[in-house]
Amino acid sequence: MAEAAEHGDLPRKNIGRVSPALHHGAIILLLLMLSVALVAGVESLAGRPLHRIPQFLFSMPGLTTVAGIFMIALGLDVLMGRAFRSMLLIAPAALALAFLSGEKQQYLSDPLYPSDLLFARQIKELLPVMASAQPLMAVTLGLVTVLVLALVVYCGFFAWNRFPKLSSRARMFRLVFSLPFLVGFTPMMEYTDHSWLRDRLKIRPMMWDQAANYRHNGFLVAFAFNAPMSKVSAPKGYDAAAIAQVEVDRDVIPASPVADRSQPADVIVVMSESLWDPTRMPGVEFMADPMPTIRQNQAGNVFSPEFGGMTANVEFEALTGFSNAFLPYGSIPYQQYIRRPLPSLARFLRDKGYEAVALHPFEGWFWNRENVYRHLGFDRFLAQDALPELEKRGRFASDEALIDQIMRIGDESVGPLFLFAVTLQGHGPYEATRYPSENVELASTLSAAATQQVGTFAEGVREADSSLTRLMEWAKTRPRETIIVLFGDHLPPLGKAFVESGYMQDAVAARRAPLPVMLKEHETPLIVWSSKTGPRKDLGTISPALLPHQIVTSAGLSDPFYTGFLGKIAAHYSVIDRYMLVDAEGSAHPGWQDGRKAAPPPLQEYRLLQHDMIFGDQFSRERFFPGLQGEEAETGEPVAALPQSPRLPG
């Protein structure tokens, strides 16, 4: 009788189907076993080799995933009043997503992100490709799908009300057991915040390398890390009519190339890893300026939207002219949103007859650059495997060796060249053994460890400055004008030194602070220099999204977006950050997106255009982005044309 009360009154006719003797502990144990089986099935479908699944299940991320599924199932059963009902909701959804991820990874070399569900066309296109490439497997999968659907339908219609009913006592037990776990587990999924619990569970959000993110943390946890970035809603009033009303500022569109420019200028843009002025560090005195060339030719500063990492977000702004300020906090456009041809400096200049080359001395898959650069219109991407063995500084290719490759590509170019290079030498951590000898002399009141970090970093800055000098001297010898743009992507991760010196209150930069603090913690040097006319000196501090406007106008070219619309934005604002807006007069407007008042009209138009091109119907293509007219609206290539790659390794 006690056992029957535990599960509610079960009609005698149901005894053959669900035994009343199934006690509370057995139900809990069975639910735990189902959770283990579900996680194993998910990992298998997502592409993890079978022999690696036990290893994952017994790892801390694997055990945490099982515990999470188990606790969620317990909590849902409390809400629905019967045991196991939760699995009818959780299992089909998790298995279906894992299957799609495995197939996407096989055909498109990338796991499934929540934001992919916004691009249903890609998923739809994937199905016929699978069927034509592997018809036998397609038939098998079709039969399995039918059987699974039949099982789900059976469970839904016939077993839904026959699962053991939970008494009030059983529901309270589940709630008390699961609620603390769920409350403690949820905050650690905010990967941008430090989590003591997440560190202890060895769950590591690796947003820069999604393959490793999914491999280490498992499909479900990695998918959850990416979930916040899928919430991109259309701006209020977005439609074709709203886009048609957006105006360009013809006054800022330059005339055709300047009179003394007989041929187009080459454009070389170098995004220098963690380039920052170390002489700004309090408590440290340098015997000689580590960056004399940069200082002499500095046009101003870039206001980086990031700190210590997330290079791809700065790169996104500098190449497209779009802003992270209009995207969800923590999102990474290179990973989540770039799924079709988009406007970029590469595509614009290629349309003007330039060859567009991207250069980075690291793996091409890092930050999804191989796919992104294709969508941005580059002709070539020379990653680590397409370059000769480069001299290293510690683990990273030296700036000097990368500059050699830039000059080689420039010497080999026949027509005008646009080259975008991302350096690597300045990447942290700044270990004492990176340089065989350091030429930077300094006096410091900081601890020995912090002083060593600053010294190693400053030596990298000195070498970056020396490399820029070489690049400028080379450019001066060329018959074609060469425009060189160099900027730092973000401040270096010198957390301990920053805190000790008092330069920053915390080890990472503030996201919401008064303008002087934000500038101090987000400014990096900016160079805009021409081999014919020398450096520009008038740019102040600007967001990376405004760089394309400055580059295009420096080259004497005109464009409806980069010089027309973006020029209008640059005339009104210099910094466009999620929290901080700085107008052309230098006045700060903190919290401008907090919803207390509407954004200024130019920024509303800016957001409309960006949403239209990345997520929307691209109503603005014809007026603002003529270089995209020959491109497919949804995807850069048909799915069938993309090379296949191995499934996600374990």
Whether residue 139 is predicted with pLDDT greater than 50 in this model: the reply is yes
Closest alpha carbon to 625 in 561, 547, 554? 561
Mean pLDDT within 428-442: 85
Domain end call among 229, 259, 283: 229
pLDDT at 438 over 90: no
Shared domain for 304 and 165, answered yes or no, is no
Q: Are residues 208 and 340 in the same domain?
A: no
pLDDT tens digit sequence for 606-634: 999 999 999 999 999 988 998 787 665 44
pLDDT per position as a tens digit, 507-536: 878 888 899 999 999 999 999 999 999 999
CB distance 650 to 215 below 8 Å: yes
pLDDT tens across 34-90, in order?
Answer: 999 999 999 999 999 999 999 999 999 999 999 999 999 888 888 888 888 888 889
- CATH number, domain with residue 477: 3.40.720.10
199 with 294, same domain: the answer is: no
The answer, yes or no, to whether residue 140 has pLDDT greater than 90, is no
Q: Is 636 a domain residue?
A: no
The residues, any chain, with a CB within 8 Å of residue 52's CB and separated by 6 or more, are 650
By CB neighbour count within 10 A (0-12 exposed, 13-18 middle, 19+ buried), where does 173 fall?
A: middle
Q: Burial, 279: exposed, middle or buried (Cβ in 10 Å; 0-12, 13-18, 19+)?
A: middle
Residue 152, pLDDT > 50, answer: yes
**Pair (207, 271) in one structural domain:** no
Q: What is the pLDDT of residues 406-421, one digit of tens each?
A: 999 999 999 999 999 9
Domain shared by 192 and 333, yes or no: no
Residue 610 lies in a domain: yes
C-beta neighbour count of 204 within 10 angstroms = 13
Q: What is the DSSP letter of 509?
A: -
Neighbours of 583 (CB within 10 A): 13
Domain containing 70 equals 23-229
Q: Is residue 643 part of a domain?
A: no
User: For 31-40, 467-476, 588-597, which range has the lowest pLDDT when averaged over its residues?
Assistant: 588-597
CA distance 605 to 582: 17
Give the pLDDT of residue 649.
Answer: 32
Distances (CA, A) of 196 to 184, 185, 199: 11, 11, 5
pLDDT for 638 beyond 60: no
CB 5, CB 31: distance < 8 Å = no
Taking Cα atoms as reference points, which of 602, 605, 638, 600 lies closest to residue 619?
605
What digits encode the pLDDT tens for the residues 221-233? 999 888 877 778 8
Q: For residue 497, is it within any domain?
A: yes
| Beta strand pairing call for 580-583 and 540-542 | unpaired
Closest CA to 457 of 575, 321, 280: 280
Instruction: Return d(Cα 343, Cα 619) in angstroms, integer.
Output: 13
Same-domain status, 118 and 167: yes
Same domain, 224 and 279: no
Do 204 and 64 share a structural domain? yes
Residues 466 and 344 in one domain: yes
Is 405 a domain residue? yes
Q: Do 221 and 275 fall into the same domain?
A: no
Identify the bridge partners of residue 267 per DSSP, sorted by sequence position.
Answer: 418, 483
Boundary-marking domain end, from 179, 213, 229: 229
This prediction has a pTM of 0.74
pLDDT (tens digit, 9 = 90+) per residue, 200-220? Answer: 889 988 776 677 889 999 999
Report the percent of the chain where pLDDT is more than 70.
Answer: 85
Q: Bigger pLDDT: 111 or 472?
A: 472
pLDDT value, residue 269:
98
Q: Kindly state whether residue 540 falls inside one of the protein's structural domains.
A: yes
Whether residue 352 contacts residue 263, with contact meaning beta carbons closer than 8 Å, is answered with no
Helices (H), 477-618: 495-501, 515-522, 547-554, 566-572, 601-614
- 221 and 271 inside one domain: no
- Residue 15 inside a domain? The answer is no
* H helix runs in 298-355, sequence order: 311-320, 333-336, 345-351
pLDDT at 208: 64
- CA-to-CA distance for 583 and 589, rounded, in angstroms? 8
Domains in the chain, number:
2
Residue 11: pLDDT band with limits 50, 70, 90: very low
Q: Of 229, 259, 292, which residue constitutes the final position of a domain?
A: 229
Q: What is the pLDDT of residues 174-199, one digit of tens each?
A: 888 888 877 877 777 777 677 888 88
pLDDT of residue 75: 86
Burial of 470 (0-12, 13-18, 19+ CB in 10 A): middle
Predicted local confidence at residue 458, as pLDDT: 94
Considering the domain architecture, whether residues 396 and 319 belong to the same structural domain is answered as: yes
Whether residue 156 is predicted with pLDDT greater than 70 in this model: the reply is no
| pLDDT single digits (tens) 377-417 | 999 999 999 999 999 998 889 999 999 999 999 999 999 99
Rounded Cα distance, 315 and 332, in Å: 11
**What pLDDT score does 639 carry?**
31
Confidence of residue 120 (pLDDT cuts 50, 70, 90): low
Q: Which residue has the tokens 């399995």?
A: 144
Q: How confident is the model at residue 249 (pLDDT cuts 50, 70, 90)?
A: low
424 in a domain, yes or no? yes
Residue 164: pLDDT over 70? yes
Q: What is the dihedral of CA 446, 450, 453, 458, to 10 degrees?
A: -20
Give pLDDT, residue 251: 60
Cis amide prior to 429 (ω within 30 degrees)? yes
Strand partners, 487: 271, 526
